[in-house]
Structure 1
Amino acid sequence: MLSNPLVAAGLFAVGGAAISRRRTIDRSAVELVHAPQTAAVGSGGDSLRDLVATSCPSLCGRFVPAAALPTADLQTCYNGARERLARLALVEYERELIATADGGTIGLDWSPPFARMPEGARPVVVLLHGLSGGSQEAYVQLTARHLTAAPYRFRAVVVNYRGCAGVPLTTHTLYNGGHTGDYGAAVAHIQRRLPGAPLIGVGYSLGANVLTKYVGEQGAACPLRAAVSVCNPYDLEASSRAIERPTLRNRYLYEPAMLFGLLRLVRRHRKMMDTGPVRLDHDALAKATTIREFDELVTARAFGYKSSTDYYTQNSSAQFLPRIRIPFLAISALDDPVCPPEAIPRDAFLANPHLVLAATQFGGHLGFHESLSETWLPRPIGEFCAAVFERSP
């Protein structure tokens, strides 16, 4: 179902189809997709649709890209450029390393440090970064800064994958887009350390796929009060095909950059990875030019999948959406060059009353820059988290 700014602009739903009463539609309006009747949130009786309509003005409004960043490619690339050129350091973290049952190590970056915000029952937002990233990424820092400042003053904690962001690799495997065990271990640890504190999960890109799969696997038993998925690929095979398209931006920008981050992790942790039962073909890996080749040579072999296609099929998060039973907000840009809009499973959002999709026409992949200094993304995340926490029992 479509609602709010689009309804105001003259759209109404009839049998699941959107009919326009006007020829012109504000393309900067945020499109909301959800079931005709959404589930209740917390103990107040408000439905998920009502919560968004009354407490999330950013989702009921517009996103207008910065005049200096009008295209999806500029929106996407500005994150990395800003981080590297300005050596972005917006958030002060306190790192905690925790061990998993199989001897792995996960890095938790807490903000603010506990010396400035002692342990207690303050709401916690658990952030999960994208492919080969970490807590230093611009999109993570900007959101963490927003959530920990007034008026929210939540506690934020970033879950850094094995081997990422300076976390030591203590097992022979890294991570993958469907490996939810580590996120679950992090959530359980946070619950033990901060008993009584309500938790909401936020995942970006590959981290959004992991978070969505985790929430679906947990179903009604999910320990999170809600979840926010940002720029989720939903279909890993479709995302792989999207960045394999023979375009200049894929050949010289996106795929090389993403592959470089993965290969750098393998080079950094080669000694530990080679202690495992699976012997990696480093010569072939050095010649790899696509993410699919990396997943064939490393991910599929290390985690026991038959092939990259088998890995993509089993771990694509779209198939887990019907099983979600907590308030779930998904934010996607329809011009995302990495996560194609045709992969967004709109039918799942129309069928499951616990889900709402917020789609913008612009924003690229993890961009959403309104100006060179401001980004829109933290605002709807903050509004949604605050509304859910306020209604938590």
Structure 2
Amino acid sequence: MLTIYPSLFRSIKPADYRRERIVTPDNDFLDLDFSERGNKSIVVILHGLEGNSTRKYVFGMVHIFNGAGFDTVSMNFRGCSGEPNRNLRFYHSGETDDLRAVITYLVSLKKYTAIHLVGFSLGGNVTLKYLGEQGADAVGVIKSAVAISVPCDLKSGSAELEKRHNIIYMQRFIRDLGHKLRLKEQQFPGSISLDHYGEVKSFRQFDDRYTAPMHGFKDALTYWEQCSSRFYLHNIRIPVLVINAQDDPFLGKECYPYEIAADSQYVYLETPHQGGHVGFVRFGKDFYWSEKRALAFLQEV
């Protein structure tokens, strides 16, 4: 209920975006949607799988941070901004080069004295993996981060999504990703094949057949092992809050890194009993619990 309610019933006004396109080092592009109030601090918001900057959960974060004295920039992953990206590859759960390009661009503007990150689901995994890869190099550049509903163990999360109670979500993800692959098939004839795509029923099958070979991994298991942010958390050196609800239908038990957080002076893990996946609804309130908590954490640090 808490997972599906916001997308169906939440009423929220769109963000007042200014779109800017930046070119990536491999001659592709990223579309960034800025919501600016002339502040010195900016929050980079990363959406989830097959989302974009117009998702209601993104708008919620934009509005609460704009109102509290932050500019925001909502990053659209490759191929998610309404136009297919140029290259065969697009994005995946461990793709951090594009986030690095966005951070580098923001630093080059010399407008902001503080950069913060907020990532949802897949975007949360990208956020945590990036910060783990950067380690001490992120100190001074990025002040803090919040990651919400994070499948930080991709193998565990994929197995959870294969269960019967998630069949509707799984079917939708496979369908939407198939649409994206059709466009890639037209862009790059002969490079990928969608023959028998109807047989793909799980992320293991999808990642084995498409994600892994398109992005340089041997197979799905290798991709999951190399891209799960759980294995990078120990190297994070800035304050990070991970929020994973205990009733999240997409997360297996390995997605709750209690021991790692307990041993880290930088990683804080909160696991509320309720919240669903990117839900955290507060009925009758303008802002959801996750939005209020993210703002409070950034203000605290």
> Could you tell me the TM-score, scaled by structure 1's length?
0.72
Q: How many angstroms does 1:372 deviate by? A: 5.5
Aligned partner of 2:8 in structure 1 is: 81
Aligned residues: 298
Q: Secondary structure of 2:289's match?
A: coil
Q: Secondary structure of 2:271's match?
A: strand
Contact 2:245-2:272 within 8 A present in 1 as well: yes
Aligned partner of 1:186 in structure 2 is: 102
Cα separation, 1, equivalents of 2:32 and 2:101: 11
Aligned partner of 1:261 in structure 2 is: 176
Cα separation, 2, equivalents of 1:178 and 1:91: 27
Q: Secondary structure of 1:283's match?
A: coil
Aligned partner of 2:71 in structure 1 is: 155
1:94 to 3, 14, 18: 18
Cα separation, 2, equivalents of 1:98 and 1:165: 13
**Per the alignment, do residues 99 and 286 of structure 1 end up closer, same or farther by CA in structure 2, a change over 3 Å counting?**
farther
Verify: 1:319 aligned to 2:209, yes or no.
Answer: no
Verify: 1:360 aligned to 2:294, yes or no.
Answer: no
Q: How many angstroms does 1:341 deviate by? A: 3.9
Cα separation, 1, equivalents of 2:185 and 2:74: 25
Q: How many angstroms does 1:373 deviate by? A: 5.1
Cα separation, 2, equivalents of 1:380 and 1:292: 33
Aligned partner of 1:303 in structure 2 is: 215
Contact 1:231-1:366 within 8 A present in 2 as well: yes
Cα separation, 2, equivalents of 1:220 and 1:357: 20
Q: How many angstroms does 1:155 deviate by? A: 0.2
Measured against aligned partners, the alpha-carbon deviations of 1:199-255 in whole angstroms (never above 9, x if no partner) come to 01111100111100000000011121111111111100000000112x2x322x111
Contact 1:280-1:297 within 8 A present in 2 as well: no
User: Structure 1 stretches (4+) deviating beyond 2 angstroms?
Assistant: 194-197, 267-272, 284-287, 340-343
Cα separation, 2, equivalents of 1:123 and 1:169: 29
Gaps of 5+ in 1: 1-73, 389-393
Contact 2:151-2:250 within 8 A present in 1 as well: yes
Q: Secondary structure of 2:234's match?
A: helix
Cα separation, 1, equivalents of 2:48 and 2:241: 17
**Per the alignment, do residues 372 and 75 of structure 1 end up closer, same or farther by CA in structure 2, a change over 3 Å counting?**
farther
Bigger relative contact order, structure 1 or 2 (CA pairs below 8 A, ≥6 apart): 1
Aligned partner of 1:243 in structure 2 is: 161
Aligned partner of 1:343 in structure 2 is: 255
Contact 1:334-1:341 within 8 A present in 2 as well: no
> Could you tell me the TM-score, scaled by structure 2's length?
0.94
Q: Secondary structure of 1:75's match?
A: coil
Q: How many angstroms does 1:164 deviate by? A: 0.3
